[in-house]
Structure 1
Amino acid sequence: MSIATRGRVRPARKPRSGSGRSLALLGPAFVAAIAYVDPGNVAANLTAGAKYGYLLIWVLVLANAMAVLVQFLSAKLGLVTGRSLPEMLGDRLRPGNRRVFWLQAETMAIATDVAEVIGGAIALNLLFGIPLFVGGLITGIISMAILSIQNRRGQRTFEFVVIGMLAIITVGFLTGLAFTDVSGTDALGGMVPRFDGSETVLLAASMLGATVMPHAIYLHSALARDRHGYAEPGPKLDRLLRATRWDVVGALVVAGGVNIGMLLLAASALRGTPGTDTIEGAHAAIEGSLGPVVAIVFAVGLLASGLASTSIGCAAGSEIMHGLLHKRIPLLVRRIVTLIPALIVLGVGVDPTLALVLSQVVLSLCIPFAIIPLVRMTSDANLMGAQVNSTTITAAAWITSGLIVTLNVALLWLTFTGSA
């Protein structure tokens, strides 16, 4: 039975009010939003705050605004066409081009899984002293159990589980703010766009890759379609799109707040403390300055982040393979295959935080391959009909794409030339 069939909301016994019906339509964006608070975000945001204070707040604010636009366009494409973004690409690309496109998308999926599994492994190590390799294996196994909820109980139940984990992540990463003093003046100063050498460009690209997540762009179109099904143009589709807009805004306000909160925590409580450019070091510094309870809560949030986000990443990879290669393999097989690179990284002793940051750079480089086709498709009147992007939305979407590409070019130039 398909996810679309299994995930639909059952008709209520009593008529719902207008607000009740709207609330019942929320959920897919909150699942996609897990990708925006994964362990890669933790590494990038803590590193940026610990090393450069409030300097790069503007990157998170800008990236989150971009994410709201992009995720809504992805969901709109799925609702209007009844097809996911990978399926649309698979239908339009020639066989050779499809395979090449899939290779870069698969590289992105692997980079995603590396970040998420490593994050879960670090959390288990911090909480229970479990070796990183074993922790990565446990993270992969638990993520498979989470995915089985979707297969057995349907998308709606899966959404409730993921939203619960998002709540744990939010509490875990923001609790420390209640015990530290954030400089409002410095935080406002961080809203001014600027860099301070090539390393800040690398971090900005990492933060962007961790915020505007390409696999969430691919997946959201499928989540919205599978949850609501295809709707003919008319009042029902209009209502679904309005609810989806609120779904996206609400989910990404939460995710954006968590990301900004992490940077503020690092900038206010961890800056200047040795070793705080790693997750383990940041955890130790949090324990030293804010107490063991806050440190435990932070580690629990990190564990929830790793477990939930690796499940979403695996689902996204499955949808990408299905859409581009017209093949769907069992999630267990895919879980095992994509887990291997992360376990290799943990097994050979690569610095976990560095691996997390670099994985986000890979994601940043893959973003244009997801955004550019999305903008083109949602701006195509023949495809989207009355729901085609307005001139303003189209312009904003192309500006977003241009900013991302420009930042990536600057990243490559400054990194390989060593320019400051």
Structure 2
Amino acid sequence: MTDTARRRRRPSAAPLAGLLGPAVVAGVAYLDPGNVASNMSAGAEYGYLLVWVVVAGNGMAWLIQYLSAKLGIATGESLPQVLGRRIRRRGARILYWMQAELVAMATDVAEVLGGAIALNLLFDVPLLLGGVITGAVSMGLLVVQQRRGPRPFERLVAGMVLVIAIGFCAGIVVGPPDAGQTLGGLVPRFADAGSVLLAASILGATVMPHAIYAHSALTRDRFGRVEQHERPAILRATRIDVTIALAVAGTVNVVILLVAAATLQGVEGTDTLEGAHAAIGSALGPVVATLFAVGLLASGLASTSVGAYAGAEIMQGLLRVRVPLLVRRLVTLAPALAILALGVDPTLALVLSQVVLSFGIPFALVPLVRLTSRGELMGDAVSRWWTTALAIVFAGLLIALNATLLVLLATGA
């Protein structure tokens, strides 16, 4: 769709509700099965200890996603497109693309495995077949986005987010957490090297590199190149859009950890999603367990379609080539299906995929912060000095945590 067509479809004085939606799609990345595995593992193993990590990560995510959305609005291009123009040497672009592609594959591993596990829990579908089904459904969602435009795609994803929220939050109604321990979990601290590993996994699932790449593309697809007089209203709506999306995602993520802390801590077998599902059924009843599995399925289906969208944008923007949707989808599906075929523990693969994502954060975040601070690129939408300073602090904290994790893994601590 051309920029002219996009502007023609967007009224110059569109009501606020008509401007919302891109953040909901990007925000589903914060509700993927990797979040479930990481937060469930954190709650089951360390109780309320890492609540602060989920809350802090969500706060960082708000600013990061807003910056990404603002880049797309100000430039009419996605982050990969801008980087593809600015990284002039082809070799450097290819190296950058390779790390971004690895992140996209790690994303797909988490999401396809989550969908496969959910189908197995609900319908006893073999994991490999479940992975194929998850990939096929996500392909259908992407076809809707390509042929019908962003709005129908946004509505479908928003519906899935509602299912996800109901499925994962039902447990807290039946088995509420301890209020005092929940507040205590807001105090930043670690217990041991394992808690640092899980914190990095949580952040990898919360501050998602592919969501950073995708959000700028989603606002570009929705608004095209925005005229200067339209920017204030669209940026105002975008802040509201990001706030709603991240409030929902953050609440659900905290609830997942709290349910695990309140009902699964010390329970045998909760180090896998299948075991957690069984333990939830024993502690909270079969209805809650079924809702949990349904939420996990919706999470896998919605998030893998967004991940595939981001992967296609990464390839097109950085390599400047168009790859057919089916080919692109098969490339990112291959690692996840290989893991299922080889019988690798799916929950372990989920958690480790989030650690891989955490290492991809600096490669997406540092360029984003730098680009949105440049007036010649952003115009009147350039970030203020304090916004840039805060984003630099967030980036520094994330990079420092990843470096600490690397040392712990290298020393076997």
- TM normalised by structure 1 equals 0.96
269, 274, 282: which is aligned to 1:280? Answer: 274
Which residue of structure 2 aligns with residue 414 of structure 1? 408
Which residue of structure 2 aligns with residue 267 of structure 1? 261
Q: Which ranges of structure 2 fall in alignment gaps of 5 or more residues?
A: none
Assess if the C-alpha contact under 8 Å between 1:116 and 1:306 holds in 2. Answer: yes
Which residue of structure 2 aligns with residue 384 of structure 1? 378
Assess if the C-alpha contact under 8 Å between 1:116 and 1:310 holds in 2. Answer: yes
14, 17, 23: which is aligned to 2:17? Answer: 23
What CA distance in whole angstroms lies between the structure 2 residues aligned with 1:297 and 1:22? 33
Kindly provide the amino acid, as one letter, of the partner of residue 159 in structure 2. Answer: G
| Aligned-residue offset at 1:228 | 1.1
| Aligned-residue offset at 1:201 | 0.7
| Aligned-residue offset at 1:119 | 0.2
35, 38, 57: which is aligned to 2:51? Answer: 57
28, 36, 55: which is aligned to 1:34? Answer: 28
C-alpha RMSD of the superposition: 1.5
**Structure 1 residues 349 and 5: CA distance shift in structure 2, 3 A:** farther
**Structure 1 residues 91 and 40: CA distance shift in structure 2, 3 A:** same
What CA distance in whole angstroms lies between the structure 1 residues aligned with 2:160 and 2:8? 21
Assess if the C-alpha contact under 8 Å between 1:9 and 1:156 holds in 2. Answer: no
Cα deviation 1:302-348 (Å, max 9, x = unaligned) = 00000011100000000000100001111111111211110110111
Q: Which ranges of structure 1 fall in alignment gaps of 5 or more residues?
A: none
Assess if the C-alpha contact under 8 Å between 2:312 and 2:323 holds in 1. Answer: yes
Cα deviation 1:80-136 (Å, max 9, x = unaligned) = 111110001000112110000000000000000011000000000000111111110
Which residue of structure 2 aligns with residue 171 of structure 1? 166
In the alignment, structure 1 residue 305 sits paired with structure 2 residue 299: yes
| Aligned-residue offset at 1:192 | 0.8
**Structure 1 residues 32 and 8: CA distance shift in structure 2, 3 A:** farther
Cα deviation 1:245-298 (Å, max 9, x = unaligned) = 100011000001110010000000111110112111100001111111111111
**Structure 1 residues 41 and 54: CA distance shift in structure 2, 3 A:** same
Which residue of structure 1 aligns with residue 213 of structure 2? 218
Cα deviation 1:344-393 (Å, max 9, x = unaligned) = 10111111110000000000000000000000000112211222111110
What CA distance in whole angstroms lies between the structure 1 residues aligned with 2:238 and 2:166? 25
What CA distance in whole angstroms lies between the structure 2 residues aligned with 1:28 and 1:330? 23
What CA distance in whole angstroms lies between the structure 2 residues aligned with 1:281 and 1:317? 31
Which residue of structure 2 aligns with residue 242 of structure 1? 236
Cα deviation 1:50-95 (Å, max 9, x = unaligned) = 0000000110111000000000000000101111100010001121
Q: Aligned to 1:210, what secondary structure does the other structure show?
A: helix
Kindly provide the amino acid, as one letter, of the partner of residue 87 in structure 1. Answer: Q
What CA distance in whole angstroms lies between the structure 2 residues aligned with 1:129 and 1:217? 35
Q: How does 1:72-87 map to 2 (within 5 A)?
A: 72-87=66-81
Kindly provide the amino acid, as one letter, of the partner of residue 249 in structure 2. Answer: A
**Structure 1 residues 36 and 168: CA distance shift in structure 2, 3 A:** same
Which residue of structure 1 aligns with residue 116 of structure 2? 121
| Aligned-residue offset at 1:11 | 6.3
What CA distance in whole angstroms lies between the structure 2 residues aligned with 1:239 and 1:80? 13
Which residue of structure 2 aligns with residue 396 of structure 1? 390
Assess if the C-alpha contact under 8 Å between 1:7 and 1:155 holds in 2. Answer: no
Which residue of structure 1 aligns with residue 40 of structure 2? 46
| Aligned-residue offset at 1:10 | 4.3
Assess if the C-alpha contact under 8 Å between 1:5 and 1:226 holds in 2. Answer: no
What CA distance in whole angstroms lies between the structure 2 residues aligned with 1:370 and 1:357? 21
Cα deviation 1:172-208 (Å, max 9, x = unaligned) = 1001110012111101111111111111111000000
Assess if the C-alpha contact under 8 Å between 1:77 and 1:378 holds in 2. Answer: yes
- TM normalised by structure 2 equals 0.97
Which residue of structure 2 aligns with residue 363 of structure 1? 357
Kindly provide the amino acid, as one letter, of the partner of residue 367 in structure 2. Answer: P
Identity %: 60
What CA distance in whole angstroms lies between the structure 1 residues aligned with 2:95 and 2:10? 43
Assess if the C-alpha contact under 8 Å between 2:35 and 2:205 holds in 1. Answer: yes
Which residue of structure 1 aligns with residue 96 of structure 2? 101
Assess if the C-alpha contact under 8 Å between 1:276 and 1:282 holds in 2. Answer: yes
Assess if the C-alpha contact under 8 Å between 1:149 and 1:158 holds in 2. Answer: yes
What CA distance in whole angstroms lies between the structure 2 residues aligned with 1:248 and 1:199? 32
| Aligned-residue offset at 1:232 | 2.4
What CA distance in whole angstroms lies between the structure 2 residues aligned with 1:383 and 1:119? 39
Which residue of structure 2 aligns with residue 258 of structure 1? 252
In the alignment, structure 1 residue 196 sits paired with structure 2 residue 191: yes
What CA distance in whole angstroms lies between the structure 2 residues aligned with 1:280 and 1:9? 49
| Aligned-residue offset at 1:418 | 2.9
Which residue of structure 2 aligns with residue 296 of structure 1? 290
**Structure 1 residues 404 and 259: CA distance shift in structure 2, 3 A:** same
Count of aligned residue pairs for this structure pair: 412
Runs in 1 of length 4+ with deviation above 3 angstroms?
Answer: 4-12
What CA distance in whole angstroms lies between the structure 1 residues aligned with 2:410 and 2:8? 51
